């Protein structure tokens, strides 16, 4: 069984072909980072246009690399949401066209489910497992019970963790994507230099939010600290120029430490809640772009030494076509195919 996966929901145009023996026959990702860098975040219109320009070439290249033709495919899997609507439309229409011309089944994949299932492609992971999904667009803790069966235990009520990294990096004058730059600079910083708030945890205000995240207060705290250190009102253009490299490094290290403490606290609460329901978890999967952060990964691993903590290889943790193709394989095996009138779903809860 061979399935092509198409991903265009954010700022990566990605195509991959996978077989049911977990062989990745091709996995091409065209990142648009350079197009969005000057804006400090993804610009939806620019993203959609770029997907249009590159997607057909990427599909042809992908088939050539896998040394197969459209006719050899068993199904077409595509991200149908959630994501930026322009991009999702580009991918979904392309997938529908191929499916209709070559008379292949269409599999409309939920992007979040694809992230959730990636560890079953790369590692031998069995249901149920706990999933921490942390990227620029997503921030949630999920209980994965089976294909198409997930329970959201917690999510962000404002910014995603990757977004908090990106916004903090922007305030420090660091390049997008911010997470990479912050992790690097943090290496030379003192993580105990500054005390940042842990919203929802410090206040312990609401038992409804035991597994949720709130990060906008943390972002504001960084901004205030910069104002204090520079002794001036914050300005995106000039403030960071007044900070020394050491000050920036200390902010990065302290910020990263706070984020990891927040994550660990939320995961602990999730496990307690599941334990009370007699659901015993032995595997914790970390997926999404922030999973690339070694500091955070190591802190989590050290804290949960009774769990097997798994993170797919970075290339499969950030948005890619292989995860879409794999979700396609998992669903196709269960005859979960979709009709050609499947509508794009910019918002699509798991
Ligand atoms: O999964 P992804 O490629 O795209 C989506 O957002 O869906 O994740 C990108 C996000 C960005 O916010 C980026 O800053 C963050 O992942 N990221 C990191 C690291 N590498 C990427 N955050 C922290 N540490 C990293 N090393
Ligand atoms: Zn994603």
pLDDT tens for 246-272 read 999 999 999 999 999 999 999 999 999
Question: What pLDDT is stored for residue 42 in this prediction?
Answer: 83
Q: What is the distance in A from the centroid of ligand 1 to the CA of 33? A: 11
| Cβ of 183 below 6 Å from ligand 1 | yes
- In angstroms, the CA 346 to CA 332 distance is 23
- In angstroms, the CA 257 to CA 263 distance is 10
Question: What pLDDT is stored for residue 293 in this prediction?
Answer: 95
Ligand 1, residue 9: give the atom nearest the CA. 7
Question: What pLDDT is stored for residue 205 in this prediction?
Answer: 58
* 322-329: average pLDDT: 98
* 304-309: average pLDDT: 96
| Cβ of 289 below 6 Å from ligand 1 | yes
Q: What is the distance in A from the centroid of ligand 1 to the CA of 96? A: 29
| Cβ of 82 below 6 Å from ligand 1 | no
Question: What pLDDT is stored for residue 206 in this prediction?
Answer: 66
> Which residue out of 12, 37, 112, 177 has the highest number of ligand 1 atoms within 8 Å of its CB and is therefore the one to mutate?
177
| Cβ of 312 below 6 Å from ligand 1 | no
Q: What is the distance in A from the centroid of ligand 1 to the CA of 160? A: 10
Backbone angles phi, psi at 5, to 5 degrees: -120, 130
Q: What is the pTM of this model?
A: 0.92
pLDDT at residue 40 is higher than 80: no
Predicted confidence (pLDDT) per residue in 153-212, tens digit: 999 999 999 999 999 999 999 988 899 999 999 999 999 999 999 988 876 656 789 999
Peptide bond into 91 cis (omega under 30): no
Question: What pLDDT is stored for residue 33 in this prediction?
Answer: 83
Q: What is the distance in A from the centroid of ligand 1 to the CA of 95? A: 26
Q: Which residues pair with 134 in a beta bridge?
A: 139
CA angle 134, 270, 222 (to 5 degrees): 45
Ligand nearest to the CA of 160: 1
* 133-138: average pLDDT: 90
Q: What's the mean pLDDT when you consider all of the chain? A: 95
Question: What pLDDT is stored for residue 39 in this prediction?
Answer: 82
- In angstroms, the CA 13 to CA 38 distance is 19
| Cβ of 162 below 6 Å from ligand 1 | yes
Question: What pLDDT is stored for residue 136 in this prediction?
Answer: 87
Q: Which two tokens stand for residue 198?
A: 């842990």
- Sign, CA dihedral 64-69-74-78, equals positive
pLDDT at residue 34 is higher than 80: yes
- In angstroms, the CA 3 to CA 25 distance is 10
* 77-94: average pLDDT: 97
């Amino acid at each position: 069984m061979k399935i092509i996966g198409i991903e265009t929901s954010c700022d990566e145009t990605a195509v991959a072909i996978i077989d049911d023996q977990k062989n990745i026959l091709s996995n091409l990702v065209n990142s648009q980072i350079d197009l969005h860098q000057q804006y400090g975040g993804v610009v939806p219109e620019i993203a959609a246009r770029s997907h249009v320009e590159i997607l057909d070439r990427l599909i042809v290249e992908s088939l050539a690399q896998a040394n197969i033709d459209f006719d050899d495919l068993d199904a077409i899997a595509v991200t149908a949401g959630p994501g930026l609507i322009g991009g999702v439309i580009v991918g979904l229409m392309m997938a529908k066209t191929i499916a209709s011309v070559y008379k292949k089944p269409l599999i409309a994949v939920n992007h979040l489910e694809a992230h959730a299932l990636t560890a079953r492609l790369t590692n031998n992971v069995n249901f149920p497992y706990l999933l921490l999904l942390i990227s620029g667009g997503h921030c949630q803790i999920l209980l994965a019970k089976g294909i198409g069966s997930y329970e959201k235990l917690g999510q962000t009520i404002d910014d995603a963790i990757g977004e908090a990294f990106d916004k903090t990096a922007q305030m420090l004058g660091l390049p997008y994507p911010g997470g990479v730059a912050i992790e690097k600079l943090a290496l030379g910083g003192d993580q105990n230099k500054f005390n940042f708030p842990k919203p929802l945890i410090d206040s312990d205000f609401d038992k409804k939010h035991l597994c949720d995240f709130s990060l906008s207060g943390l972002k504001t705290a960084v901004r205030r600290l910069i104002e204090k250190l520079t002794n001036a009102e914050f300005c995106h253009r000039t403030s960071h120029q007044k900070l020394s490299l050491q000050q920036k490094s200390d902010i990065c290290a302290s910020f990263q430490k706070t984020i990891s403490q927040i994550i660990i606290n939320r995961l602990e609460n999730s496990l307690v809640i599941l334990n009370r329901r007699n659901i015993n978890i032995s595997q914790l999967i970390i997926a999404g772009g922030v999973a690339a952060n070694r500091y955070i990964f190591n802190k989590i691993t050290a804290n949960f030494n009774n769990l097997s903590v798994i993170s797919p290889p970075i290339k499969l943790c950030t948005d890619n076509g292989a995860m879409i193709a794999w979700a396609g394989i998992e669903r196709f095996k269960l005859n979960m195919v979709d009709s050609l009138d499947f509508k794009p779903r910019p918002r699509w809860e798991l």
